[in-house]
Amino acid sequence: MNIETTVELDVPDHNNDVIANVHNNSNNGQIISEVDNDEELIKLQNLKREVMLDICKLLCDFSYDTVTVFKLEKWCPEQLQLAFGLGAGVLSFYKVWDAEKQDMIFKLNQKNE
């Protein structure tokens, strides 16, 4: 007797059409996971890149704010603090730009279908 289950992964934005089919074979207890096509893998890679950008931006923000809040100007040069602030700003701008680019590509692909 074979049991087949479909699991839908909820991913924010227009990446929510990622579906992984999980087949559970009760004869030998193995679970085999398949991803339907390469587009879904690309979407997951883009989501991973967005998360990594968020982590880097938050680290820059944390470093910049830590110097200000705890008055660590003696141990951290002003140029380094400004570099953290600039890094956070650049990463934020890149994230917005990349999200708009992906949205435009998604809309163009929908229009062509």
Q: Splitting the chain (113 residues) into consecutive groups of 10 residues, what average pLDDT does each group show?
A: 52 47 49 65 90 96 95 92 96 94 91 86
pLDDT of residue 19: 43
68 and 19 both lie in a single domain:
no
Q: Residue 39's closest CA among 23, 10, 19?
A: 19
Record the pTM: 0.63
Cross-strand pairs, 24: 3, 31
* Total count of domains within the chain: 2
62 and 84 both lie in a single domain:
yes
72 and 59 both lie in a single domain:
yes
105 and 74 both lie in a single domain:
yes
90 and 51 both lie in a single domain:
yes
Using only the alpha carbons of the chain, give its radius of gyration.
Answer: 21
103 and 51 both lie in a single domain:
yes
Domain range for 22 is: 2-35
42 and 30 both lie in a single domain:
no
**What is the rounded distance in angstroms from the CA atom of residue 89 to the CA atom of residue 80?**
14
